[in-house]
Amino acid sequence: MRIIIIGAGPGGYETAAEAASRGIEVVLVQDGPLGGTCLNEGCIPTKALCAMDAPDQTRKAEIIAQLQGGVAQLLRNKLITIVPGRARLAGPRSVEVDGQVYEADAVIIATGSVSASLPIPGADQTLDSAAMLNLDHVPGKLCVIGGGVIGLEFASIYRKFGSEVTVLEFCPNILPKFDVDLSKRLKASLAKRGITIETSARVTAVDNGTVRWTKAEKDFSVQADCVLMAVGRRPNLASLNLDDLGIRYTPRGIEVDSDFQTSVPGIYAIGDITGGMMLAHVATAQGRRALNHICGQGDGIDFSVVPAAVFTVPEVATVGKTEEECAGMDIAVGKANYRANGKAVASGQADGWCKVLAGKADGRILGVHIMGAHASDIIHEAAVLVAFGATTKNARDIIHAHPTLSEVLYAAIPNV
C-alpha cells in the first residue's frame, strides 16, 4: 500500500512516521521546512520566546534547527520518500509536484493554515505572527489586534520584555471560545501585569502606527511602534485543485466526515485545512484516525475531549465543556485558588485558579478550566478524567502527591 501526504507539519509528518511503522509506503510532499507552522512559525518559537528575558534570534534558530533534525530523524525510513515542492491534486489517487505525478492508494491533505487579516485600511502596515517572531528588538509600544490565543501569547511575551502593550479584541471577552469565567480572570490578571485590554473594540484602520477603533459608537485611537495582526488563521486552500476533483469545501475549510475523508473517496484532509480546532495535537490525532480508516481499523479517539493551553503569564488551560455550554443542565461547580496551595505559595506562583464542572445527577466530570502556573501540564489529568467519564467520587479517590500544584485540581472537585 502507498499513501501520499501533502504537508509536513505535525499532522503530516507524524502520520507519515506512523504509516511507515505499519509497513506502508509514504510519499510526503513538503512545501517549506519540515515541521510546518507549529515548529517554524508557531508553537515552538513562541515557547522559546516565553523562556527568554529578551528576543534572542540565535537561540530561537538553534531550538528550531534541533527539532527539525529530530523530525528528519523520525522520517528517516526507507518507506518514506520526501518530495520538496508544492502539490496539486491530479486525480482521486494522484498528486502532481513540479510536473512529476505520484500515484497512491489514498491521499491525505495536511497543508495547514495561514495568518488571517482584517480588511481594513493600513492592514499592510501590520506584522503577522511570523514576522513578529523575527523581531530582533523590543518595541516601546506594541498594539495587538486580536485577543485570541496568538495575540495574548505575544502580548504576554513582549510585556515581559518591557513593551507597553495594548490588546484590542472585537468580542466581549478575550479568548472568545473559552469559559467566560476563565477569560475574565485572565483579563484581570494580565491587567495587573500592565497589559491594557479593550474588548468589544472594532478596529477600523491602521495609519503609520496609529490604530483606530470604535467602541459603543465612540471613536478611539492608540499609538504604537509596532502593530501585530492576530485575528486568527484561515485554511491554506491555495493551489490544491479542489474544484476540478469535486472536493467540497467552504472558506472555513475542506468538508470531511468522522474519518476525515473528503467528499471524494480515498482523499482525506486533516488539521487546520479542515477549519476545526487549529491545534497541532488535533491534527496528529486526526491523522491517526484517517490512517486507521485507510487500513480498515477502528479506534477510540474522542474528538470532543481535546485539551487546549494558552502560554500567557499566567498560563490557562481547558478541557471539556465550558459553563456556558452547560446552560440548561443541572451542574455543580467547584473552584479552588492557587493561593491556598502550598506549592504555589512556596514557589511564588500564587496567582491562579481552577474550576471543575460536574453533573449533579451522576457526578460525571464535564469540564475543567485552569489559570495558573503549569496549567498546561495539570490539564492532562483533567483530560483523562473527562475522556473516561470519571465521576467526582472517582476523582476524589485518587491520591495526589503533596505539595504539588496538581492538588489545586483535587481541591476544586465539587462535592456531588
Are β-strands 233-235 and 94-97 bridged in parallel, bridged antiparallel, or unpaired?
unpaired
33: in domain: yes
For the chain, helix (H) and strand (E) counts, in that order, are 13, 24
Q: Which 3-state string (H, E, C) describes 348-363?
A: CCCCCEEEEEEECCCC
Helix segments in 193-250, DSSP class H: 242-245
Q: Per 3-state DSSP, what percentage of the chain is helix, strand, and coil (rounded to 5)?
A: 35, 25, 40
CA–CA dist 1, 391 (Å, integer): 44
**If you ran DSSP here, which 8-state letter would residue 400 be given?**
-
**If you ran DSSP here, which 8-state letter would residue 73 be given?**
H
Confidence class for position 1, pLDDT limits 50, 70, 90: very high
Q: In this structure, are residues 348 and 191 in contact, taking their beta carbons and an 8 Å threshold?
A: no
CA–CA dist 272, 114 (Å, integer): 9
- Whether residues 208 and 352 share a domain: the answer is no
What is the mean pLDDT of the segment spanning 287-292? Answer: 98
Number of domains in the chain: 3
Say whether pLDDT at 342 is over 90.
yes
| 188, 203, 229 - which closes a domain | 229
Q: Which tens digit of pLDDT belongs to each residue from 122-178? A: 999 999 999 999 998 999 999 999 999 999 999 999 999 999 999 999 999 999 999
- Whether residues 103 and 237 share a domain: the answer is yes
For all residues of the chain together, what is the average pLDDT? 97
- Whether residues 59 and 96 share a domain: the answer is yes
388: in domain: yes
Helix segments in 252-390, DSSP class H: 280-294, 342-346, 375-387
- Is-catalytic flag, 374? no
pTM to 2 decimal places:
0.95
301: in domain: no
Confidence class for position 239, pLDDT limits 50, 70, 90: confident
Say whether pLDDT at 303 is over 90.
yes
- Whether residues 15 and 111 share a domain: the answer is yes
Any idea what the CATH number is for the domain that residue 138 is in? 3.50.50.60
- DSSP secondary structure string for all residues of 109-125: E---EEE----STTGGG
- Whether residues 98 and 242 share a domain: the answer is yes
21: in domain: yes
Q: Which tens digit of pLDDT belongs to each residue from 396-413? A: 999 999 999 999 999 999
- DSSP secondary structure string for all residues of 157-175: HHHHHT-EEEEE-SSSSSS
pLDDT, position 238: 84
At 74, which helix (H) or strand (E)?
helix 57-74
Share of the chain above pLDDT 70, in %: 100
Task: For residue 155, report the phi and psi dihedrals to the nearest 5 degrees.
Answer: -60, -45
160: in domain: yes
- Whether residues 225 and 162 share a domain: the answer is yes
What is the mean pLDDT of the segment spanning 85-97? Answer: 95
Of these residues, 281, 293, 380, 402, which one is catalytic?
402
From 357, 338, 260, select the one nearest 303 (Cα to Cα).
Answer: 260
pLDDT, position 336: 98
- Whether residues 313 and 263 share a domain: the answer is no
- Whether residues 109 and 6 share a domain: the answer is yes
302: in domain: no
What is the mean pLDDT of the segment spanning 278-286? Answer: 97
Q: Which domain holds residue 107?
A: 2-115+233-294
- Whether residues 263 and 206 share a domain: the answer is no
| 204, 229, 254 - which closes a domain | 229
| 199, 229, 259 - which closes a domain | 229
93: in domain: yes
- Whether residues 74 and 138 share a domain: the answer is no
Any idea what the CATH number is for the domain that residue 324 is in? 3.30.390.30
- Whether residues 24 and 90 share a domain: the answer is yes
- Whether residues 140 and 183 share a domain: the answer is yes
pLDDT, position 280: 96
What is the mean pLDDT of the segment spanning 5-28? Answer: 98
CA–CA dist 10, 313 (Å, integer): 26
303: in domain: no
